[in-house]
Structure 1
């Protein structure tokens, strides 16, 4: 890429995986293009720190406050994206952070049954984490390399199920 991106701001997007009893939750939306499954995600707001952004996203989308968990969500995957979009002369820069949190017994009951910040009130479904790791989720960039995308989700959903500690996997390749 020839555009100078050294002074362009880097946007941050957070995505959160909640896991309980070997299952992860997904938001199930019916769209004109068909069924859409996604994890709660969204951009960090201006001035928002890393722990605050996922907490706010889960509060907005699922009415769930991670402040009540015995341990905060753990960063499981980070990826930097730099893309030159059609019609723009400067590259778009974004850092994607995927966090995972294990919900102890009873905490999963506090997750809303429907998406709270969408007029459709899409249902929240709980699926086996191993099965969720194999799905194509709607909040993934189709330009991502599939092996990196799958490995990130596999680590967060499968390895992150029983244990929410460990090193961050970085896919800045």
Structure 2
């Protein structure tokens, strides 16, 4: 925790060369949480897209990422068998499950909390393009 408070991060990672988005998502969730997306009642649904173009403290250059935020329905019976700490994190980061409404009140990375809780919730048909994260809109904690 920093002097600014906690920052919560969504599970995620990079797409490997030759990998499509769905495969990358399934791989990252398996690597980080031990979650098999094939065991879910519904496939992950793309809900938000956000471009990030920022500088980072202690690093040179511009940090550029395109965040594809998916919402998953993970039944309690599946959730209870998942890792309670991120499996591939060196610091063994604690995993905390929450619904999209509660997530709106957290300092999330990427900065999508408020947008997740808006009218096009998990049952909406189309993903929403969010305003980009920039040095003016994002503060690293």
TM-score, normalising length: structure 1: 0.59
For residues 53-68 of structure 1, what are the structure 2 equivalents within 5 Å?
Answer: 53-68=24-39
Indicate the residue corresponding to 1:16 in structure 2. none
**Structure with more strand by fraction:** 1
Determine whether 1:78 maps to 2:49: yes
Distance apart, 1:154 and its partner CA? 2.1
Q: Distance in 2 between matches of 1:113 and 1:40?
A: 13
Residue aligned with 2:121, SS: helix
For residues 1-173 of structure 1, what are the structure 2 equivalents within 5 Å?
Answer: 35-81=6-52, 94-137=65-108, 139-140=109-110, 149-155=112-118, 159-160=121-122, 163=123, 165-171=124-130
Structure 2 alignment gaps of length 5 or more: 133-141
Aligned Cα RMSD in Å?
A: 3.3
Q: Distance in 2 between matches of 1:34 and 1:102?
A: 28
Evaluate the alpha carbon distance shift between residue 122 and residue 131 of structure 1 in structure 2; reply closer, same or farther with a 3 A threshold: same
Evaluate the alpha carbon distance shift between residue 128 and residue 50 of structure 1 in structure 2; reply closer, same or farther with a 3 A threshold: closer
Write out per-residue CA displacement over residues 113-137 of structure 1, whole angstroms, 9 at most, x where no aligned residue: 1111123322222345422211112
Larger Rg: 1
Distance apart, 1:39 and its partner CA? 1.4
Residue aligned with 1:78, SS: strand
Structure 1 alignment gaps of length 5 or more: 1-29, 142-148
Contact conserved, 1:76 with 1:155, CA < 8 A, in 2?
A: no
Residue aligned with 2:24, SS: helix
